[in-house]
Amino acid sequence: MSRTVHDFTTDIPVWKPYVTPLDLAEASTEQLEALKVTPSNNKVSDYVLVLAHDVETLKHRTPLFNAVMYNRDGLSRAEREIGAVGASIVNRCIYCAAVHASRYNQLTKDEDVIAAIFANGVDAQIGPRLKAILTFAVKLSKCPSEANADDMAALVEVGLGKDEILDLILSVSLFGWANRLMHTLGEPVSA
């Protein structure tokens, strides 16, 4: 019997939707195009099938997501993941936090940072650069945003370039979006 996961973890749960995912047999041409469904690629996650109900945002959202997280140059991929994790903690999106925390661990081969963040949030004992990144991520994710000029100055202080700061703003904001879909339209259950 699978059960809902309520605590932060790096074990990626299964996402169960609260609404009925799109039935591929009833999908429009536009929906199939956005889903990139082909005879050789017909495995689409429930999450994406749920979002396919609103194809006019999904078709832009997928390339936007990939650009924010994987574009070349700018902020390192691992530090973008910290932006994602910071937002996911504020919004308590257990699923997003698990996926992006484990990706950070894979990229850095270091599990201590995430363990500290899961245990103590913004009070985590981590290096100054990651601390400034996490603090900014958490404060920008509040509603309304609580990020201020001091938080921005702290990013400059620890050495982030302007291109890196932009990438951080984008990854944090992106998860303000993703968390509001993933955590409100379904729930994480133990795999």
Partner 1 sequence: MAGNEDVVAAIAGIEPGGALAGIVAGRADIMALTQKTHDGALTPDNPGGLSDAERAALAWRVAKINDHKGFEDHFEAMLEKAGAPEQAARLADIWFNGGSDARARAIIRHVDLVAHSPKDATRHDIELLQEAGLADADIVRLAELVAFVSYQIRVAAGLQLMQRFA
The site for partner 1 (CB under 8 A) is made up of 18-20, 50-51, 53-54, 56-57, 59-61, 63-64, 67-68, 71, 73-74, 90-93, 140-141, 143-145, 147-149, 151-153, 156, 162-163, 165-170, 172-174, 176-181, 183-185, 187
- Rank residues 119 and 166 by Cβ distance to partner 1 and give the closer one: 166
Q: How far is the CB of 9 from partner 1 (least distance, A)?
A: 16
Note whether 161 and 113 are within 8 A (CB): no
- Rank residues 22 and 105 by Cβ distance to partner 1 and give the closer one: 22
Q: What angle, 0 to 180 degrees and rounded to 10, lies between the N-to-C axes of helices 94-108 and 112-120?
A: 150
Q: How far is the CB of 54 from partner 1 (least distance, A)?
A: 5
Q: How far is the CB of 108 from partner 1 (least distance, A)?
A: 24
- Rank residues 44 and 181 by Cβ distance to partner 1 and give the closer one: 181
Name the residue with tokens 């009070």.
123
What amino acid is encoded at 102 in this protein?
A: S
- Rank residues 78 and 152 by Cβ distance to partner 1 and give the closer one: 152
Q: How far is the CB of 173 from partner 1 (least distance, A)?
A: 4
- Rank residues 54 and 110 by Cβ distance to partner 1 and give the closer one: 54
- Rank residues 105 and 171 by Cβ distance to partner 1 and give the closer one: 171
CA-CA distance, 44 to 66, in Å (whole number)? 17
Q: How far is the CB of 109 from partner 1 (least distance, A)?
A: 28
What amino acid is encoded at 78 in this protein?
A: A
Rounded to 5, what percent of the chain is helix, strand, coil?
65, 5, 30
Q: How far is the CB of 112 from partner 1 (least distance, A)?
A: 25
Cα–Cα distances (Å) from 183 to 6, 37, 77, 160, in that order, read 11, 25, 23, 30
CA-CA distance, 26 to 90, in Å (whole number)? 37
Specify the 3-state DSSP secondary structure of 160.
coil
